[in-house]
């Protein structure tokens, strides 16, 4: 197993001169529309929660625990990648732990200037100690609300059915999404092992959420082919697609996705980890972007993939050769593709467009003196600073 970091991070001193440094990406306003709560905890928090809850972990030293979870390791398959969750889920079985993990996730996102996020998880995975499903949902909403009060970050929730558990369990999750619609839950997703578990098996859950006008996104085209994306769109009614790596295998569907402006939630480093792509240069993101598709860049799992949105955007720029002007377009697409109500989305986008305009195409903040109001063109009258003198 190889460290993802080793192949994808240029040491700063060997960066080509025209590569914009990571710090610039950290300063930009951003979204994270595809991030799993149970894959995005802080490692120290896992250790602390385990101690408090008397849960026995396979290691208590954070470095060892990170390697057991497989943070940043290339697994090559989605099924192996999902094993790290066995560890994180052990400590996420109480309301207090869920509240804390949600707060800290939003706090970490805020620290890299994420303005809007949609946190996803499946409540059924958090009831091993008898916590009620409704308590699970409310604990996560409480944590995200506390982060909003502290930092102003807006974070909503997407509830997930799990493809490899059962359609009946997915239906229970769909019921929760309906019950909490308009109260912090903005969507429904289907996650888990993709192979042999097509989304159409969970059709009843999708029918319930769609009848209740709940937004739908589905993990598709990650470990299984374009057919899974077609099912997600045409049978299950997805409004967005999680990953969509294998959409490039079907030109007609690719153009359908483009024509209908269906957003793709791309998570490049995670795709390398699960073997959905060989390496970052093999990722179809740039192809999709150049074809005009609505592409968003996300983390998937901040702990397990050992990443942030800033880092993902930076890798898109430095490894895939996407210019900074297109990075700004990717960020705008994130704000355009959120499951917020239209008017909120529009207002957030307007603010972000104005902020991004302050950066030129080399990622530099334009001088205050060069802002449109103050620029004098050839032939303009000289500015009089102190009139009458």
Which sequence positions are flagged as catalytic? 222
How far apart CA 176 and CA 157 sit, in angstroms, is 11
Nearer to Zn ion, 194 or 300 (CB): 300
Q: What would you report as the CA-atom Rg of the chain, rounded to the nearest whole angstrom?
A: 22
How far apart CA 142 and CA 192 sit, in angstroms, is 25
Contacting residues toward Zn ion, per CB under 5 A: 300
Instruction: Give min distance, CB of 243 to Zn ion, in A.
Output: 7
Instruction: Give min distance, CB of 39 to Zn ion, in A.
Output: 8
Nearer to Zn ion, 38 or 300 (CB): 300
Nearer to Zn ion, 108 or 326 (CB): 108
Nearer to Zn ion, 108 or 300 (CB): 300
Instruction: Give min distance, CB of 265 to Zn ion, in A.
Output: 8
Nearer to Zn ion, 300 or 326 (CB): 300
Instruction: Give min distance, CB of 162 to Zn ion, in A.
Output: 12
Instruction: Give min distance, CB of 301 to Zn ion, in A.
Output: 7
């Amino acid at each position: 197993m190889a460290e993802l970091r080793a192949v994808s991070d240029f040491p700063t001193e060997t960066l080509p001169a025209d590569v914009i440094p990571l710090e610039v990406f950290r300063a930009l306003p951003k979204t994270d529309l595809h991030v799993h709560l149970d894959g995005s905890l802080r490692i120290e928090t896992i250790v602390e929660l385990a101690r408090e809850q008397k849960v026995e972990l396979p290691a208590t030293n954070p470095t060892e625990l990170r390697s057991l979870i497989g943070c940043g390791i290339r697994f090559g398959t989605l099924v192996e990648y999902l094993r790290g969750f066995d560890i994180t889920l052990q400590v996420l079985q109480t309301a207090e732990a869920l509240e804390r993990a949600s707060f800290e996730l939003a706090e970490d996102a805020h620290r890299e200037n994420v303005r809007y996020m949609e946190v996803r998880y499946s409540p059924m995975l958090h009831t091993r100690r008898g916590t009620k499903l409704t308590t699970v949902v409310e604990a996560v909403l409480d944590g995200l609300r506390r982060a909003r009060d502290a930092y102003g970050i807006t974070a909503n929730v997407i509830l997930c059915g799990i493809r490899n558990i059962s359609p009946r369990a997915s239906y229970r999750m769909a019921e929760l999404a309906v019950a909490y619609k308009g109260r912090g839950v903005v969507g429904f997703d289907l996650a888990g092992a993709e192979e042999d578990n097509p989304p159409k098996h969970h059709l009843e859950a999708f029918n319930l959420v769609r009848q209740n006008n709940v937004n739908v996104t589905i993990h598709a085209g990650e470990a299984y082919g374009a057919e899974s994306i077609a099912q997600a769109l045409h049978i299950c009614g997805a409004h967005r697609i999680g990953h969509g790596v294998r959409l490039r295998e079907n030109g007609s569907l690719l153009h359908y996705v483009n024509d209908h402006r269906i957003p793709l939630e791309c998570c490049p480093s995670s795709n390398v980890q699960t073997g959905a792509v060989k390496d970052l240069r093999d990722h179809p993101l740039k192809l999709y972007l150049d074809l005009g598709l609505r592409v968003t860049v996300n983390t998937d799992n901040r702990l397990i993939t050992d990443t942030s949105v800033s880092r993902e955007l930076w890798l898109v720029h430095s490894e895939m050769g996407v210019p900074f002007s297109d990075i700004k377009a990717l960020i705008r697409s994130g704000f355009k593709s959120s499951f917020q109500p239209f008017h909120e989305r529009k207002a957030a986008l307007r603010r972000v467009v104005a902020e991004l305009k302050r950066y030129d195409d080399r990622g530099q903040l334009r001088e205050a003196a060069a802002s449109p109001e103050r620029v004098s063109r050839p032939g303009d009258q000289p500015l009089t600073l102190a009139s009458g003198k």
